[in-house]
Chain A
Amino acid sequence: MNVMIKFVLDYLGYIIRGDKKYYLWLGFLALFIIPWLYGNFMQLKYGMIVTGLTDQVSWGLYLANFVFLVGVAAGAVTVVFPAYVYKFEPLHKVSVLGEMLAVASVVMCLLFVLMHMGRPDRLWHMIPVIGIYNFPHSMLTWDVLVLTVYLFLNLIGGFYFLYKKYAGEPLNNKFYLPVIFIAIGWAISIHTVTAFLINTMPARPMWHHGMMPIRFISTAFAAGPALIIIVFLTIRKNTALWIEDKAIDLLSTIVVACLTIALFLTMSEVVTELYHPTEHSAGLQYLILGKHGLENLVPFFWGSLVAMVLGWVLLMIPSIRKNYNVLSFICAMLFLGIWIEKGMGLLIPGSIPTPIGEFTQYSPTLLEIGNCLGNWAIGFIIMTLLLKGAIGILLGDVKYSK
């Protein structure tokens, strides 16, 4: 028990200390919380009328970010899977960082979902026993279940590992390995169920096809490791923790492979839907070409496509893939491209036109954008703190001493 208390104290003491750069980074992120506080206050006070959402397009940026971040959370498995299934040592050493990233992403998901809700004060209505949990009928209850369990699996797996490392005790593999392997499988489930959340609605033909889950997974396993590469390269540059080249090379290979599948699936969908466009293709037409003179999303679609194709081509070239000076930029470009593709590029045109054929555009309000940025900033603060603590323990800077 004594060790546990010391662990918490040492851990907290370590994550709040850092060099000037560390504080500057956290301070920069904290700036976004000011508009976020204002935005949340306004939204709670006046309702969701402060957003750009309408009855026509009632799911917008909040849910788009949610869907994307579930993918990022699942993408953390690209670190854990090779580490434990293939016993790939360069990633095995740092796999706890993947778990920390997953935790931060799930927290962001929860923030976005709460913000999407019209009555967050009634969240308790969903809690079994005191409320009603419409399981297994409602796909949303499945999503809540898989996300919550995934959060706990990563918290338990991650912090158990860190604690044992801190205390200098060996891991109890009978407990630890099952948690890790369940979490690996579970990562697939969170994004599959998130795809089911929207593709089980025949009312929205743009989403209503069986390709959705695999498209989600393939883009997730491109965006997730893209972010991880950026994080790893940043860690290498700024901390004493050295992440091997082999680890980064494997991740960039995974990005290329998954991006290949993702682009192929996008192509398949476009050809299927637009060869002989029916009424059910109207959403996709609106996204790609614009329809009835409405073309808000057209530049975003093409921008994201260019980013993805360009990134894919560049990463196929080994000399560029292994040039760590440009790799971060390519990964950032891909991350942004996929964020557009799977976020607003998928969520918004699903509502355009409405099921009874009305074409309305949606543009988020400044307040809504501020809230989204705030959520991201909070997520990155959590991620930074979690990674800092984990790195400290991995390096042995934080360890138990009597």
Chain B
Amino acid sequence: MSDTKIPLVDITTRATHENNSVSEWRPADDDVNVDKPSSPSRRKFIKKSAGVTTASLIGTAALVTGSDNVQANTSWAEHFQGNYRLMSDEEKAEAIDRLEKRYSLEYEKEVTVDGTDAQEGVLFGYALNIQKCIGCRRCVKACVEENNQSRGDEQEIEWIRVLKMEKGEFTQEKLNDGYPGDYGIQVGGNAYSAAGVVLEGEHYYEPEAVPEGDSHYMPIACMQCEKPPCVKVCPVRTTYREPDGPVVIDYNWCIGCRMCIGACPYWARRFNWGEPQLPKEEMNPKTHYLGNRPRMKGVVEKCTFCIQRIRHGRYPACVEVCPVGARKFGNLLDPNSEVRRVLDRKRVFRLKAEANTYPKFFYFVD
């Protein structure tokens, strides 16, 4: 898909690298109960160590009979599993177990699929300082590495799109460079050049170095809307809002109709047109069922705020990597969280607020 390609050149930045000093969005004293005891991942862990459950026995039996069979058996069962949200805890654990086996064989490393549920009292929100963003696209790259997107010539998927917005200018010389109408009366003017026409930004900028003096940058990814149009149009409810905020997709339930792609006002969703290309050595083995686990062809995917990280108190990969600290993240329900401080103190706006989607992704300036 030549049109979706952005060469991920490492663009040298003029800014100094100041990484976020804190590595967790959660206050330090709140470090308990990351895994709720009832979460499938925890139970799965117990099961695995006991090693006597049916699922693991079947798994062992299959392993003995040869790896090809494991793959065949697991994908066969995967075909008939239900919608993740409606599975019982046991079914979830089984589904996760199946996936872990399949992925581990496929990528030749120990892959974990996390099923950690939402924590109570948490609603994730994001704030991006467009004044600080230098357009280096490190977030795009970090996101791809973290979230196991397809990469390479055949199909390159990126969840974040950074737009370059030219500032434009009004000049004395162009003052009278207008449209003359009848009677010699000027009916319009041209006294501007590309005066930052919103949403006509440059998608494929490739300068020697960033930031360019005459531009600012606008990264766009999934807004995790409170009223997500994509969720409403889905005919099979494979995409839904999790209790802690992110809008997620059960990749095994998606029928690939792409209604959600049509409905999203932020162009945040991507489709696996072909079989995803994910080199074994680059595959991130720490995955979440609703997040960065490897996808299959014919399904939709998108940003989940790195659900595999945030449910364990970590920052999304893009927040962690941002060299200028433009990205802030945290619990919207906690008055002391970074994101809440931004909302309380800075001048904040949401992209396409008129669409009434109530994004939980905010833009701000100092």
Q: A-side interface residues toward B, CB under 8 Å? A: 46-49, 51, 53-56, 58-59, 116-123, 125-126, 131-134, 137-141, 144, 198, 200-204, 279, 350-351, 354-358, 360
From B255, B263, B271, give the contact of A55 (CB < 8 A). B271
Q: What are the 4 tightest A-B residue pairs by CB atom distance, in nearest-first order? A: A118-B256, A118-B298, A49-B274, A357-B199
- Is there contact, CB below 8 Å, between A58 and B255? no
- Is there contact, CB below 8 Å, between A140 and B265? no
CB contacts (< 8 Å) of B161 on chain A: these are 356
From B155, B198, B256, B355, give the contact of A117 (CB < 8 A). B256
CB distance from B209 to the nearest CB of A (A): 24
CB contacts (< 8 Å) of A118 on chain B: these are 254-258, 271-272, 297-300
Q: List 27 A-B contacts (CB under 8 A).
A: A46-B275, A46-B297, A47-B272, A47-B275, A49-B297, A54-B4, A55-B4, A55-B271, A56-B4, A56-B267, A58-B258, A117-B298, A118-B271, A119-B298, A122-B256, A132-B83, A138-B233, A139-B259, A202-B355, A203-B262, A203-B355, A351-B262, A354-B267, A356-B201, A356-B220, A356-B267, A358-B267
Q: B-side interface residues toward A, CB under 8 Å? A: 1, 3-4, 79, 83, 86, 154-155, 157, 161, 163, 197-201, 203, 220, 229, 232-238, 253-259, 261-267, 269-275, 297-300, 355
CB contacts (< 8 Å) of A132 on chain B: these are 83, 86, 236-237, 253
Closest B residue, CB atoms, query A144? B235
The B contact surface, by secondary structure, is loop
CB distance from B202 to the nearest CB of A (A): 10
Given A118-B257, A125-B255, A201-B262, 16 additional A-B pairs, CB 8 A: A47-B297, A54-B1, A55-B271, A119-B298, A121-B79, A126-B235, A132-B86, A132-B237, A132-B253, A134-B237, A138-B233, A139-B259, A203-B262, A203-B263, A355-B266, A356-B163
- Is there contact, CB below 8 Å, between A46 and B274? yes
CB-CB under 8 A for A125 and B271, given A49-B154, A140-B257: no
Closest B residue, CB atoms, query A53? B273
Once bound together, how far apart are the Cα atoms of A354 and B263, in whole Å? 11
Once bound together, how far apart are the Cα atoms of A388 and B86, in whole Å? 49
Once bound together, how far apart are the Cα atoms of A268 and B262, in whole Å? 25
CB distance from A151 to the nearest CB of B (A): 18
Once bound together, how far apart are the Cα atoms of A121 and B300, in whole Å? 15
From B198, B238, B259, B263, give the contact of A125 (CB < 8 A). B238
CB distance from A319 to the nearest CB of B (A): 45
CB contacts (< 8 Å) of A53 on chain B: these are 273
- Is there contact, CB below 8 Å, between A58 and B3? no
CB contacts (< 8 Å) of B269 on chain A: these are 55
CB contacts (< 8 Å) of A119 on chain B: these are 254-256, 298-299
CB contacts (< 8 Å) of B257 on chain A: these are 116-118, 140
CB contacts (< 8 Å) of B163 on chain A: these are 356-357
CB contacts (< 8 Å) of B262 on chain A: these are 58-59, 198, 201, 203-204, 350-351
- Is there contact, CB below 8 Å, between B236 and A126? yes
From B200, B233, B264, give the contact of A139 (CB < 8 A). B233
- Is there contact, CB below 8 Å, between A133 and B235? yes
CB distance from B118 to the nearest CB of A (A): 21
Once bound together, how far apart are the Cα atoms of A201 and B261, in whole Å? 10
- Is there contact, CB below 8 Å, between B83 and A138? no
Closest A residue, CB atoms, query B273? A49
CB contacts (< 8 Å) of B271 on chain A: these are 48, 55, 58, 118
- Is there contact, CB below 8 Å, between A360 and B3? yes
CB contacts (< 8 Å) of B4 on chain A: these are 54-56
CB contacts (< 8 Å) of A202 on chain B: these are 229, 265, 355
- Is there contact, CB below 8 Å, between A201 and B236? no
CB contacts (< 8 Å) of A356 on chain B: these are 161, 163, 199, 201, 220, 266-267
CB contacts (< 8 Å) of A134 on chain B: these are 234-237
